[in-house]
Copies of this chain bind each other. A is one copy, B any other.
Amino acid sequence: VVESWSFLDTVESNFRPLVVIELAKGTKEETIEWFTKRIVDKKANGGAQLLIKPLVMENGVENIYLVGASHLRLLLGAETVGLVKECSDNSMRTFTYSSRKTFKDFADDNHNFLTMAECQYIIKHELENLRAKNEKMIPGYPQAKLYPGKSIVRRLLTSGILVQIFPLHDREELKKLRHSWYGRVKVGYQPLDDIRCYFGETIALYFGFLEYFTFALIPMAVIGIPYYVFAWEDYDKYVMFATFNLLWSTVILEVWKRICAILTYRWGTLLMKRQFEEPRPGFHGVLGINPVTGREEPVYSSLKRQLRIYLVSLPFVCLCLYFSLYVMMIYFDLEQWALDYHKENESNFSSLMLYVPSIIYAVVIEIMNRIYRYAAEFLTSWENHRLESSYQNHLILKVLVFNFLNCFASLFYIAFVLFDMKLLRQSLATLLITSQILNQFAESLLPYWLQKRYNRRMKKRMCSQKTDRELSIAEQVNMEKEMGTYLGTFDDYLELFLQFGYVSLFSCVYPLAAVFAVLNNITEIYSDALKMCRVYKRPFAEPTANIGVWQLAFETMSVISVVTNCILIGMSPQVDALFPDSKMDLVLTVALVEHLLLAIKFIMAFVIPDKPRDIQMKLAKLEFESLEALKQQVRAFQMQL
Contacts and interface: CB of A to CB of B under 8 A. Distances in A.
Contacts of A80: 631, 634
A291 B621 contact: yes
Contact of A587 (B8, B276, B291, B591): B591
Contacts of A79: 634
Contacts of A275: 627
Interface string A612-641: 000001001101100110010011011101
Interface in A25-76: 43-44, 72, 76
A72 B641 contact: yes
Contacts of A44: 639
B292 A621 contact: yes
Given A80-B631, A587-B591, A638-B76, A292 B43 contact: no
B624 A276 contact: yes
A292 B620 contact: yes
A97 interface: yes
Contacts of A98: 637
B637 A97 contact: yes
A635 B48 CA distance: 12
Interface string A587-601: 110010001000000
Nearest to A98: B637
A143 interface: no
Interface in A283-311: 291-294
Given A276-B624, A587-B588, A588-B587, A617 B43 contact: no
Main secondary structure of the interface of A (DSSP, over half): helix
A641 B292 contact: no
Contacts of A276: 623-624, 627-628
A583 interface: yes
B584 A291 contact: no
A98 B638 CA distance: 11
Contacts of A631: 80
A563 interface: yes
A582 B588 CA distance: 14
Interface in A247-298: 275-276, 291-294
A93 B291 CA distance: 17
Contacts of A43: 635, 638-639
A72 B627 CA distance: 23
A549 B624 CA distance: 24
A43 to B, nearest CB: 6
B627 A291 contact: no
Interface string A394-416: 00000000000000000000000
A469 B584 CA distance: 72
Nearest to A582: B583
Contacts of A76: 634, 638, 641
Nearest to A42: B639
Contacts of A620: 292
A292 B617 contact: yes
A379 to B, nearest CB: 20
A97 B640 CA distance: 12
A588 B276 CA distance: 50
Interface in A308-366: none
Interface string A571-584: 00000000000011
Given A292-B624, A587-B588, 20 more contacts: A8-B641, A43-B638, A43-B639, A44-B639, A76-B634, A76-B638, A79-B634, A80-B631, A97-B637, A98-B637, A276-B624, A291-B621, A292-B617, A292-B620, A292-B621, A293-B621, A293-B624, A583-B583, A583-B584, A584-B584
18 contacts: A8-B641, A43-B638, A76-B641, A80-B634, A97-B637, A98-B637, A276-B624, A276-B628, A291-B617, A291-B621, A292-B617, A292-B620, A292-B621, A292-B624, A293-B621, A584-B584, A587-B587, A587-B591
Q: Which 10 A-B pairs have the closest CB atoms?
A: A587-B587, A292-B620, A276-B627, A292-B621, A583-B584, A44-B639, A76-B638, A591-B591, A293-B624, A276-B624
